[in-house]
Amino acid sequence: MAVVADGRFARTHWQVVRRFGEYTWLALELDTGRTHQIRVHLRHLHHPIVGDSLYGSKKRHPFKVERPLLHAYQLSFAHPETGEALCFDAPLPADFAQVIASLEKRQL
């Protein structure tokens, strides 16, 4: 997967939540749902996701993570039968929260 001129349309909106020196915590919203969309777009923007072994940076990072640090904190969609708007929230996973705490300590 890659960003190419003649590829399928995909749009990801992003907003900086917090900067930690060379790391940035982003909030993302998708208009489309292409395979690996977030990972591909962030790599293209030179902001690979920590822990992403496929699209991530070859540069080593100091965090012990075993997965890409992506988290769907909120999912919203219309119920397929009733059309009712449904919205679900999920807390930040412990491994993600530990990386954020580590980055915050570095800022002091």
Q: What is the pLDDT of residues 53-107, one digit of tens each?
A: 999 887 788 898 999 999 999 999 999 999 999 999 999 999 999 999 999 998 7
Query: pLDDT class for 108, splitting at 50, 70, 90?
Result: low
Question: If DSSP codes are grouped into helix, strand and coil, which group holds residue 91?
Answer: coil
CATH number at residue 88: 3.30.2350.10
The residue range of the domain holding 87 is: 12-107
In a domain? residue 6 = no
User: Is the residue at 42 inside a domain?
Assistant: yes
Residue pair 49/42 in contact (Cβ under 8 Å)? The answer is yes
- Total tally of structural domains belonging to the chain: 1
Question: Is residue 74 included in any domain, yes or no?
Answer: yes
Region of residue 10 (phi > 0: left; psi between -120 and 50: alpha; otherwise: beta): beta
Q: What is the pLDDT of residue 5?
A: 72
Residue 40 neighbours by CB under 8 Å, 6+ apart? 1, 2, 3, 10, 34, 55
2 within some domain:
no
Residue 7 lies in a domain: no
Specify the pTM: 0.82
In a domain, 82, yes or no: yes
In a domain, 87, yes or no: yes
Q: Does residue 68 lie in a domain region?
A: yes
Strand-pairing partners, residue 29, are 13
pLDDT digits (tens, 9 = 90+) for 2-40: 777 778 898 999 999 999 999 999 999 998 988 899 999
